[in-house]
Chain A
Amino acid sequence: MMEEAIATYREEASELLAELETSLLDLEETPEDNDLINRVFRAMHTIKGSGAMFGFDEIASFTHEVETVFDMVRNGKMTVTKRLLDLTLKSRDHISYLLSCPLGEAVDRSDGDEIIAGLRQLVPQIELPQKGSTEVPAINLPTVSEDELANESTWRIRFRPVSNILMCGTNPISLINELRGLGTAHVVAQFDEIPPLEEIVGENCYIYWDIILTTTRGEDAIKDVFIFVEDDCEIKIELIDKSGLIDKDEGYKKLGDILVERGDLSPVEMQKVLMLQKRFGELLVEQGLVSPEKVQSALIEQQHVKSVRKERSETPPQEAAASIRVPAERLDQLINLVGEMVTVQAHLSQVSMAGGDATFISISEEVERLTNELRDTALNIRMLPIGSTFSKFKRLVRDLSSELGKEIEMETFGAETELDKTVIEKLNDPLVHIIRNCIDHGIEMPEARKAAGKPSHGTVYLGAEHSGDSVLVTIRDDGAGLDRDRIRAKAIERGLLSATAEVPDKEIYAQIFAPGFSTAEKVTSVSGRGVGMDVVKRGIDGLRGSIGVDSVRGTGTTITLKIPLTLAIIDSLLVKIGKDHFVLPLASVEECVELTREDVTNSHGRNLANVRGAIIPYIPLREHFGMTVDRPDIEQIVIADLHGSKVGFVVDHVVGEHQTVIKSLGKMYRDVKGVSGATILGDGTVALILDMGVLLQAVDKLENN
C-alpha cells in the first residue's frame, strides 16, 4: 500500500511540477499576477506537505525554503524578479531530481544548497529560517479549496510546556500561533495548575493548552510546530475527525465521551453522573469531578467538530470526485480489447451477411453500432490536450535564448487541441529538435535583427489545430529563413539532388531532414551536427505523420507537422492483390481510378497515368512486392497525396473502407521497408498496412540508382 501511495505521490508531484513551471513562465510575463503567485505557492506547499507525509524529507525541507520566499512574495514583502524566477525554475528542476531519487538513499544536495544560497541573497532584509532555529516564519495558508477540503482532518492537541520554557526563550503563544496558521483552531488555556501566590515562581509556565485544529496539512505539519520543544514538553496529538470518514451524523461525541477520552473524567464517574438526569456539564461541576474550564474546553471541541462536519456536509459534491486517476497501462489494455472487439465484430458482420438471416444481420448491425461507439469512447479517454507539453518548450526557449544571448519569446496557440497520449509523448523529441534549430539557426542575434529592421526580440510560435482526422502542429519563427541556395548546393554536393534538376522549393527545404545534413559552419552546444532534423523525420514518420516546410528568406520559417489523432485504430482503404489483402491509411488517399491493360501499354513502361489531364506517377505494387499472380484486365490506381505530391499505388481490387486495428509486426520484420504494421480482418486473415511514404522513397531510390 505504501509503495502505491509513494508512486501516486511521485505522479502527482510531477504534475504539480509541470503546473509550477507553467505558472513561473507565465509569471515572467505578468509578474504582478497574484493568482499566479498563489498558484506557485500552492504547488510548492502541496509538494512539501505531501512529500513530508510520504517520507520525502529532502523534498519537504528544500521546498520549505523556496515556499517561504514565495510566501514573502505573496505577502508583498518581495517582488518577482528575473533572478527569483531563475532560481525558482532551478528549484523546480532540483525537486524533480529529488523526486527521481530512490527513497531513503543519499542525494546530491549541491544544486539545492546553491539555490538556497541564491534565494537567501535575494532576501537579505528578511532572514530565512536557519537550521537549529526555533523561529519559523508563520505562513498563512491560502484559502482552503474544495480539493483540500477532501484531506481535512481535525486534531485534538494537548500542549503542556516544560515549566522553564519561558526562561529558555521560547514563547508558547508563538507555537500556538503557528498551529493557528495551519488551519482553523480553537485554543483553550488551562489555568488549574497555576498555584497560589505563596507557591508561584513568576518566571515558570504553569498554563497548558487544549487546541482543536482542523487542517489539511497532516500530523507531521503539527509535529513540525513542536519540533524544537518536543523533547521537554508533553505533547499529545489525537485525530478526532477526518473528512472521508463516514460520519454517523453531522453531530459529534457527547460531552462525557470527550472528557473520558481526554483523561479528564473516568468512565465510572461518568456513569454515576448520568444517573442523575441533569445537564451533564453542570452535574460534573456540581460534583467537583471536572473543573468548569475543562467542561468549557470539551464543549468548545464539541462545537468545533460539529461545525466542521456541518460545513462539510453542506459543501457541494466536488468536481475532483468526478474524475479518477487510472494507470496508462490499463487504458492501453482497454484499447487492445476494443481492438480485438472491432476485429471480431468485422467477422460477425461477414458471417451474418453470408448467412442472409435478417434477424442475425440486424443484431450484427446493432453490435457494429455499439462497437463503433465503444471504440470512439475508448480512444477519447486517451486524448490529452497538447498544451500539457507546451510549457516544457517555453522553458526550452527561455533557457536556450538566454544561453545564446538572444532575445526570444514563445507564443502558443491551440493548447486545448487533443491528441492521443502516446502521440503527444512521441512528439516531444521532434519538437525539441525543431525548436532548438529555430533558436540557434532561425532567430538572429538582436543586433542583426535591428540592422534588418526587425524588433530585437524574436518570436517562436508553437500551435496546434485539428484538420480532419489529423492535428497540424505548427512551429513558426520570425527569423532569417532558410537559405534555399545553400541547402540546394549542399544537397547536390551530397548527391541528394541532381545539379540539373528543377526542384520545387518545398523539396529543397525537405533536404534539411536528411541524415547528417547541416549547413551550419560551426557546431554549437545547441545544434549544427546535422543529427536533430533527421530525428524529427524519423519521429514523425514513426507517427505516420508528415512534415511540411515553408520559408521566406529574411522573414522566417514555418514547419508544419501533420499527425494522426491516434495510433491505435485508423480508418483505411482495404485493397487486394491476388488473394492477399493490404491496407492503405485513408487519410492520405484522394481517389481511385481504373488502370486498363491499354493504359499500361500506352505508358511505355514509365508508370505514368493520365488522370483528367494530370500526369500522375504510379507504383505497381504487384511488381514491387514480386507477386507473380495473374494480373486482372482492369486494375485500380489508389491515388494518394504524399507531402503535397500525388502518387498512385496500383492494386487488383479496392475492397472498401475498413476500420484498421493496428498490430505491430514484431522485431523480426522491423527491417521490412514499406510495411508499417498489420491488421486482422474479419475472416481471421492478416492484411499488411502499407507505408506509402516509405514505398515512394524506395522507388525513388531505385530509379535514381
Chain B
Amino acid sequence: MPLNSSVRENGEIIVTSGGRLTIENAAEFSRIVREALEASNVVALEFEPEVEIDITGVQIICSGCKSAAAGGKIFTYHGTQPQALTDIITSSGAERHAVCKHNNDSTCIWFGGTK
C-alpha cells in the first residue's frame, strides 16, 4: 500500500507508511501528516512491516507529535513499530525514556516510552 491517508468512520485518520519514509518522499509524508492533523483530532500511523525509514522520517514523526500536542490532538500509531524504526532510533541515539516538553510533558510513545 503506498504512502496515503484514509478517514475512518469515527473520524480518525489513518496514514499508511507505504514502503518508505525516507528523504525521497519526506515532503509528501510531512504534507499528509499535516493535512491529517488539520482535518482530524486523532491521526494514527500504520507501518508496512518492511518499511524503510531514514532520519527525515524520524524528524517528521517528531514534528507531527509536537504539532499534535500543541493543537491538543493525538498523533499515534497502530500495531507494532517496524524494525527499521527501532534500528534508526538506536543508531541515531534517539531513544527517549523521559517526558517530552513538546509532548505536554508526557513520555514519548515513538522513541522509547510506552503508549
Contacts and interface: CB of A to CB of B under 8 A. Distances in A.
User: Chain A, interface size: which category?
Assistant: 20 to 34
Interface in A174-230: 176-177, 186-189, 191-192, 194-198, 200-203, 205-207, 209, 211
A285 interface: yes
B98 A296 contact: yes
B99 A292 contact: yes
Nearest to B91: A173
Nearest to A191: B62
B23 interface: yes
A288 B100 CA distance: 12
Interface string B82-103: 0000001001111011111110
Nearest to B36: A197
In this complex, which of A167, A186, A198, A285 has the most chain B Cβ atoms within 10 angstroms of its Cβ?
A198
A211 B102 CA distance: 23
A11 B23 CA distance: 51
A207 B98 contact: no
A198 B97 CA distance: 26
Interface residues of B, number: 33
Interface in B40-68: 54-56, 58-60, 62-64, 66-67
Contact of A202 (B30, B66, B88, B99): B30
Given A203-B23, A206-B59, A292-B101, A198 B34 contact: yes
B33 interface: yes
B27 A203 contact: yes
B68 to A, nearest CB: 9
A291 interface: yes
A173 B99 CA distance: 24
B88 A173 contact: yes
Contacts of B39: none
A172 interface: yes
Contacts of B98: 292-293, 295-296
A173 B55 contact: yes
A260 interface: no
Contact of B66 (A176, A194, A292): A194
A686 interface: no
Interface in B4-35: 23, 26-30, 33-34
Given A202-B26, A202-B30, A196 B92 contact: no
Interface in A280-303: 285, 288, 291-293, 295-296
Contacts of A288: 101
Nearest to A196: B67
Interface string A446-467: 0000000000000000000000
A382 B113 CA distance: 65
A194 B93 contact: no
Contacts of A171: 54-55
A291 B37 CA distance: 25
A188 B30 contact: no
B91 A202 contact: no
A194 B99 contact: no
Nearest to B107: A292
Contact of B59 (A192, A200, A285): A200
A288 B105 CA distance: 11
Given A203-B23, A207-B55, A291-B101, A189 B29 contact: no
A144 interface: no
B101 A195 contact: no
B34 A197 contact: yes
A197 B64 contact: yes
B96 A296 contact: yes
A166 interface: yes
A187 B88 CA distance: 12
Contacts of B70: 196
A203 B55 contact: no
A202 B54 CA distance: 11
Contacts of B93: 176, 186-189, 209, 211
B55 A166 contact: yes
Interface in A473-526: none
B46 to A, nearest CB: 18
Contacts of A285: 99, 101
B29 A202 contact: yes
Nearest to A167: B23
The residue among A166, A167, A200, A291 with the most chain B CB atoms within 10 A of its own CB is: A200
B25 to A, nearest CB: 8
Given A197-B63, A293-B100, A189 B94 contact: yes
Nearest to B27: A202
Nearest to B58: A207
Contact of A173 (B59, B92, B101): B92
A480 B99 CA distance: 85
Contacts of B27: 201-203
Contacts of B67: 196-198
B88 A200 contact: no
Given A197-B37, A292-B100, A166 B92 contact: no
Given A172-B55, A197-B37, A292-B99, A202 B60 contact: yes
B37 to A, nearest CB: 7
Nearest to A205: B55
A191 B94 contact: yes
B101 A200 contact: no
B33 A176 contact: no
B26 A187 contact: no
B92 A207 contact: yes
A291 B101 CA distance: 7
Interface string A317-336: 00000000000000000000
A334 B34 CA distance: 82
Contacts of A173: 55, 88, 91-92
A53 B28 CA distance: 47
Contacts of B66: 194-196
B15 to A, nearest CB: 12
Contacts of A293: 96, 98, 100
Nearest to B21: A202
A98 to B, nearest CB: 37
A243 B56 CA distance: 39
B62 A197 contact: no
A310 B85 CA distance: 34
Contacts of B88: 173
A298 to B, nearest CB: 12
A208 to B, nearest CB: 11
Contacts of B100: 292-293
A520 B70 CA distance: 96
A200 B91 contact: no
B104 to A, nearest CB: 12
A110 B33 CA distance: 59
Contacts of A196: 63, 66-67, 70
**In the A-B complex, the 9 residue pairs with the closest CB atoms:** A202-B26, A187-B93, A197-B34, A196-B67, A202-B27, A292-B98, A197-B67, A189-B94, A202-B30
8 contacts: A166-B23, A166-B54, A171-B54, A186-B93, A194-B63, A197-B30, A209-B92, A285-B101
Interface of A: 166-167, 171-173, 176-177, 186-189, 191-192, 194-198, 200-203, 205-207, 209, 211, 285, 288, 291-293, 295-296
Given A202-B30, A207-B58, 7 more contacts: A171-B55, A191-B59, A197-B33, A202-B56, A203-B26, A205-B59, A292-B101
